[in-house]
Amino acid sequence: MNGELILFFVLAAVAIGAALGMLFSRNAVYSALFLILNFATVAVFFLLLGAPFIAMAQVTVYAGAIMVLFLFVIMLLGAEQIQHQARRGWQRPLAMLLTLALLAESAYLIFTRSDLLTVLEPAASDYGNPQAIGMLLFTEYLLPFEVTSILLLAAMVGAIVLVKEDRKKSGGQK
Amino acid sequence: MIPISYYFALSAILFSLGALGVLIRRNAIIIFMSVELMLNAANLLFVAFARANGALSGQVLVFFVIAVAAAEVAVGLALIVIIFRNRQSIDIDEMSSLKG
């Protein structure tokens, strides 16, 4: 058992544990912090897979910006300790059953497809460096890149308009 | 050194946990976080297969997924804030009427 394999299993345990912690903690702030831990471990997996640019984007955009937004909204709403209403009793067992079915299907795929067993060879030294990804982004994927910028603009305007409209309405009612 | 099936298995487990979170939790913000977890599991698989095939397109696609997730979170959280202002609750069982 070499070092990389040990690293993989330890990180996988941390990632799965963090995901479980997110699911089952009562406090939404703890959930968000567990999710940040999960994103950080996945970023290390990206590094292991030879994707340093994606790993850094994961840390800055996901673990940084997105999760700060989540924490901000949780604390803005004071929603960290929302009590559960009486839920229908059959929902939780059914959800467990469906999730197990999904997991079983994935396991079936893993064990029947022999081409998934290929062992990852050490990549070329320039594989996945930011320069290569930048070249690909601005040549082959230029149109999707520009569309993404429009999408981000639309999301920004949409978020502002959604919240502003509400404020105007409540101001008019006074 | 590491078979790609290990990454497949890890990604499948994380995705299933995300799906479980969407199904069993009632807090809209936690459901949203579970969706992020599922997106992240898919990203992990994208990067693993990109590495296995020696192609960079998978990594570019993950970059786009991250950008779209950021946009989705901004709009989704704005919606959650509005719903909370209107109903004083983000329990999804309470959002069963369309009257607003």
Q: How far apart are alpha carbons B44 and B7 in whole angstroms?
A: 8
Predicted ipTM? 0.91
DSSP 8-class letter at B98: S
What per-residue confidence (pLDDT) applies to A173?
47
Structural domain contains residue A151: no
With CB atoms and an 8 Å threshold, state whether B19 touches A141: no
Structural domain contains residue A123: no
Q: List domains and CATH numbers for chain B.
A: 4-94 (1.10.287.3510)
Nearest-10 crossing angle of helices A3-24, A28-48: 160
What per-residue confidence (pLDDT) applies to A31?
92
**Model confidence over A118-166: pLDDT tens digits?**
777 766 667 778 888 888 889 999 999 999 999 999 999 999 888 886 5
CA dihedral sign of residues A18, B76, A143, A149: negative
Q: What is the mean pLDDT of each run of 10 residues along chain A (174 residues)?
A: 86 95 90 94 92 92 90 84 64 89 89 74 74 89 94 92 67 47
Our count of domains for chain A comes to 1
Q: Which two tokens stand for residue A108?
A: 């079936």
Range of the domain at A49: 1-81
Residue ranges of chain B with pLDDT lower than 70? 98-100
What per-residue confidence (pLDDT) applies to A78?
80
What per-residue confidence (pLDDT) applies to A174?
39
Show which of residues 93-132 on chain A sit within 8 Å of chain B, judged by CB atoms.
94-96, 98-99, 102-103, 106-107, 109-110, 116-120, 122-124, 127-128, 132
Residue of chain A whose alpha carbon sits nearest to that of B86: A166
Question: B29 and B80 in contact (C-beta within 8 Å)?
Answer: yes
Structural domain contains residue A74: yes
In CATH, what number is assigned to the domain containing residue A48? 1.20.120.1200
With CB atoms and an 8 Å threshold, state whether B66 touches A151: no
